Structure 1
Amino acid sequence: MTTHAAVVGAGLIGRAWAIVFARAGLPVCLFDVDAQALAKARGAIRRSLDDLVEFGLVEDPEGVMSRIRVEADLERALAGADYLQECGPEDVEAKCRIYAQIESVVSPTTILASSTSGIAASRFTGHLRYPERCLVAHPVNPPYLIPLVEVVPTPATTDAVVERTMQLMAAIDQIPILVRREVQGFILNRLQGALLNEALRLFRDGYVSAADLDKTVKHGLGLRWSFMGPLETIDLNAPAGVIDYGRRYGPLYRDIDLQRDAADPWAPETLARLDAERRDELPGEGLAERQAWRDRRLMALMAHQHATRND
């Protein structure tokens, strides 16, 4: 089992991963080429821990902090690491360079996992000497609150590396899923993208306001989806299960799917109109405060889910 983790990239996701590892009792070293990002990292982590303590999601913040080290030298940061979480830019060429640098200083057996939100790891690891120990471990932001991790091997990744990664994620209280083969965007973002694309089309074409569309998810779909997924939902929403549901509602969903046009739902004019409605609801200067509100609501939800995990 992994005993020493390293995180490359001290931004929002990298700091969150450091909390996840250290909260689970693992020593973790956080590296970044940006000295300013490193200088701010420990303070930002401590503020997150203080919030987690308030909701009962961390019991020993001092112990967590004691297991997190920051380091500006890559070789020293990765020394002894048997698992590395890369949190660099969403750019293939940049990742190719980062991975070449990483491989030059780590053990051949160190697992190299990327936090990328949608880039197949084979696109930036094929040039390495040991690509078989590389894969994606895509978190949901922030991973210390939302535990899902998408584990996505490349065609070269060994079964042993996949198994070690799945076991590690479970051991640090994350919930890993295995994406059986590479696909752009993986699972979560493809599902989220399907909903966002349809939401933007409905907004663009004047069927609903931005506020009412958000209410539809917040007070409708989201209530069910907070504790069960869409496939279990349909299995429970017909008397005889999923085949019965398909017989009853499949024709409706097929017709809806055929009605979707090929026009880009992310067109600039659509986003500009959406932004205008959103800024009426929430002025730009209030975004940071609302983001903090979101995180605290997530903490309360996670505290509830922890208390009812065996239901």
Structure 2
Amino acid sequence: MRAGIIGTGLIGRGWATAFARAGWDVSIWDHVPAVAASALSSIKTALDDMAAVGLVADPAAAAARVVVADTLSEAVDGADYVQENVPENVDAKRDVFELLDKQAPQGVPVASSSSTIIGSRFLSGIRGRDRCIVAHPANPPHLMPVVEVAPSPWHADAFVGETCRLLASIGQVPVVVRQEIEGFVMNRLQTAVVNEAVALVARGVMDPADVDAVMKHSLGLRWSLMGPFETMDLNAPDGFLDYATRYGHLYQAMGRDLHVADAWQNDTLQTIEDRRRRDTPRAAVGERMRWRDRALMRLMSLKNEL
């Protein structure tokens, strides 16, 4: 099996790692050749780090399956699946899908890593739109395996199911977004948390580092094992409805007081930036990202055991 990865930023590299880990041959391409070339090193490092915690059996063999293509056409030649990872721009995505639909083998799924833009906005005019779909990953895809498969109104259920089965076969966790909605589900949930976090700092309720501490030492621990509905189900003696009956009025009252639609103020953003730079100097951000990825790998390994 062969995957064609178009665009080799953080998301594209993660997709390449995920497919190579699963035993696929992977051809990567970027409109900036140097970016694609540097991606090979990042992919090899990721596979080596995953092998250290038992997530990849043979990292050298996996890395050898990833090659850089000289052209977009070469990247998708013979592909069984194609994943687009160009910037979040309607025109850019429409343009690249025009090319992908013409050059990718007939019948092969061509998916977009769009983070917020619904497929109808850039796929509706594509001649082969029936096989072009949004498959929005978490970041990084090889360590946070959920993929939001977001069909547009014209997609057949059979094609959606086929795409989900293919993604599941490489170790991803596909979920279906059953209505087109800006931001899909993952980013909408994240938006609610992030916007309220910024608002809490702006209102002087809590310092940025303490907001992060609340998340990583409470909710984040629990949410790494279960979602909000299972959390509610296990936090009351008689399950979900018992919890909703006990606490629903409190959640609704707090919901009316949330500030998730407040504008982000520059002075608040600077406050958060200053605190982040004290904790992680700008020159150390790359190393901190690798620390995060290694920590996620260890967590993935533990979750696999659990």
Q: Normalized against structure 1, the TM-score is what?
A: 0.94
Match of 2:149 in 1: 151
How far apart are the structure 2 equivalents of 1:256 and 1:60? Answer: 50
Q: CA deviation at 1:41?
A: 2.1
Match of 1:122 in 2: 120
How far apart are the structure 2 equivalents of 1:38 and 1:219? Answer: 37
| 8 Å contact kept, 1:6–1:28 | yes
1:177 aligns with 2:175: yes
Matched residues, percent identical?
45
> Pairwise mapping of residues 201-280 of structure 1 onto structure 2 (< 5 A)?
201-261=199-259, 264-280=262-278
Question: Aligned pair in 2 of structure 1 residues 288, 41: CA closer, same or farther (>3 Å)?
Answer: closer
* RMSD, matched Cα: 1.5
Q: CA deviation at 1:210?
A: 1.0
| 8 Å contact kept, 2:149–2:175 | yes
SS in 2 for 1:52: helix
> Pairwise mapping of residues 81-92 of structure 1 onto structure 2 (< 5 A)?
81-92=79-90
1:62 aligns with 2:81: no
**Counterpart code for 1:218:** K
| 8 Å contact kept, 1:204–1:265 | no
Q: CA deviation at 1:236?
A: 1.2
How far apart are the structure 2 equivalents of 1:279 and 1:44? Answer: 24
For 1:165-201, what per-residue CA distance to the aligned partner results, in whole angstroms no more than 9, with x for missing partners?
1101111011111111111111111111101111111
Q: CA deviation at 1:107?
A: 2.8
State the number of aligned residues.
Answer: 306
Runs (5+) with no aligned partner, structure 1: none
How far apart are the structure 1 equivalents of 2:277 and 2:37? Answer: 33
**Counterpart code for 1:215:** A
Match of 1:47 in 2: 45
SS in 2 for 1:101: helix
SS in 2 for 1:104: helix
Match of 1:6 in 2: 4
For 1:67-111, what per-residue CA distance to the aligned partner results, in whole angstroms no more than 9, with x for missing partners?
222101222221121311001110001111111111121233121
| 8 Å contact kept, 1:121–1:135 | yes
| 8 Å contact kept, 1:125–1:134 | yes
How far apart are the structure 1 equivalents of 2:2 and 2:259? Answer: 50
How far apart are the structure 1 equivalents of 2:39 and 2:217? Answer: 36
Question: Aligned pair in 2 of structure 1 residues 73, 262: CA closer, same or farther (>3 Å)?
Answer: closer
Q: CA deviation at 1:241?
A: 1.6
How far apart are the structure 2 equivalents of 1:244 and 1:265? Answer: 36
Residue from 284, 289, 299 that aligns with 2:282: 284
